[in-house]
Amino acid sequence: MTDIVSDIRVARSEARRLAAVPTDRKDAALESMASALDRRRAEVLKANASDMERAASEGIGKVMMKRLAVDDVKIDSMISGIRSVISLKDPVGETMSTMELDDGLMLYQIRCPIGLVGVIFESRPDVVPQILSLCLKSGNGVVFKGGREATETNRCLFEILTDAVSEYVPASAFVMIETREDVNAILGLNEYIDLLIPRGSNEFVRYIQRNTSIPVLGHAAGICHVYVDSDADLGKAWDIVLDSKVQYPAVCNAMETLLVNRRVADRFLPRMAELFSENGTEIRCDPMSLALMKGAVPASDEDWDTEYNDYIVSVRIVSTVEEAVDFINTHGSHHTDAIITENTSNMSYFIDNVDSADVFVNASTRFADGYRFGKGAEIGISTNKIHSRGPVGMEGLMIYKYVLMGGGHVVKDYVGDSARKFKHISSDRTLVVR
């Protein structure tokens, strides 16, 4: 444990150096990461095969196995994600706002890195290049802790990527830890780690939230809904609902509960049942929808509050858009919820009243993703109401500081009977120091 604390202390110090690295060197490091991953992909595949073999022998479920698996297509996606970060604007040092307080006294609000970020995740090795690329571009150090099931793959990816960046940036700003004991150690390191990002099961995220005083960015559950309105285009609805559930059910933005307006239920649900069945999805229904969906089983009260992460869906008939919104706000996790409708009044009501990080109209919930939102990649999806919300890219790794540029100004000139007056005039000037 002493070595881990020492490594993290060094990473904290090196993160400050990383914050000052110029954009061209960070972009060169990112391209080096992408090239190295492409060149050394056979090593990654071999390491992943070892993890997959061990996971299979331990009886890990098929959903977790799918998250764990890495193939050439997934490596191509990792490489593409890294290169997409190169194209993003460097946020470090950006002037967010400027105010002229008085003649020659300018106040600048400047974007800067948070510092050292701790990322604790389960199953998905692609988190390593995603987070590392975003942290590097945004000038943040990062401490990784992956799940035991992906130990070999995570270690291989981390070594490839950090070797690749060492020529350009301080690689000691990046640390990977591997033991369960190390997790509990880093939860107490609030003097070194500025932000924790957990990515995993509900129980896992809640454990992190309960056991640390470090700020936590993320979501504990992904209970997402699609509401098929009385004025829905049913052709769109069948496609969107199916995609939301079965395109990749093991992720947090997959639909778990389908709500259908009673005025279209008898036309919509029988065909939807066929589509779910054709795609191996178990259907759990309330009493009204049960009669319309062949092969379905009754839902329990627990189903409305369950994130399945599997080929299981719960279905409920509602009477109005207001009832749908109330149900979503009561049983959802404030992650991603969608309405399918051609009625602009109902669209507006849904958008205004659903209390979720992502609210979609006539689109699959699976679009709730940092890459799809044009963020290059994502550090996670947050249901927080402070700092960042929804799919979080580099903006979630940034904070700001104030820089005051004066010319010998002192506060005593601004107090008393003959005090100078502040101007407080907004300006479009940017901070330039040469």
Residue-level pLDDT at 111 = 94
- What the block records as the tokens of 179 is 């033991």
Question: Do 341 and 347 touch, CB atoms closer than 8 A?
Answer: yes
Question: Which is more confident, 181 or 138?
Answer: 138
Question: Which is more confident, 74 or 181?
Answer: 74
How far is 262 from 232, CA to CA, in rounded Å?
12
Mean pLDDT of 138-143: 96
Residue range 105-133, pLDDT digits in tens:
999 999 999 999 999 887 789 989 999 99
How far is 394 from 84, CA to CA, in rounded Å?
12
CB atoms < 10 A from the CB of 288, how many?
Answer: 15
Mean pLDDT of 15-32: 96
- What the block records as the tokens of 420 is 């100078």
Residue type, 382: S
How far is 89 from 108, CA to CA, in rounded Å?
19
Length of the chain: 434
Question: Do 367 and 80 touch, CB atoms closer than 8 A?
Answer: no
Distances (CA, A) of 355 to 66, 138, 160, 252, 424: 31, 29, 41, 17, 36
The DSSP secondary structure of 31-66, one letter per residue, reads HHHHHHHHHTHHHHHHHHHHHHHHHHHTT--HHHHH
Residue-level pLDDT at 232 = 98
Q: Give the pLDDT band of residue 425 (cuts 50, 70, 90).
A: very high
Q: Give the pLDDT band of residue 220 (cuts 50, 70, 90).
A: low
**Angle of CA points 118, 122, 123, to nearest 5°:** 135
CB atoms < 10 A from the CB of 330, how many?
Answer: 9
User: Who contacts 50 (Cβ-Cβ below 8 Å, separation ≥6)?
Assistant: 152
How far is 205 from 357, CA to CA, in rounded Å?
18
Q: Tokens 């919509």 map to which residue?
A: 268
Question: Do 38 and 94 touch, CB atoms closer than 8 A?
Answer: no
Residue-level pLDDT at 251 = 85
- What the block records as the tokens of 116 is 């050292």
Q: Which of 264, 380, 274, 395 is nearest to 319 (CA)?
A: 264
Question: Which is more confident, 374 or 15?
Answer: 15
Residue-level pLDDT at 221 = 80
Residue range 300-333, pLDDT digits in tens:
999 999 999 899 999 999 999 999 999 999 999 9
Residue-level pLDDT at 166 = 96
Residue-level pLDDT at 1 = 47
pTM metric for this prediction: 0.80
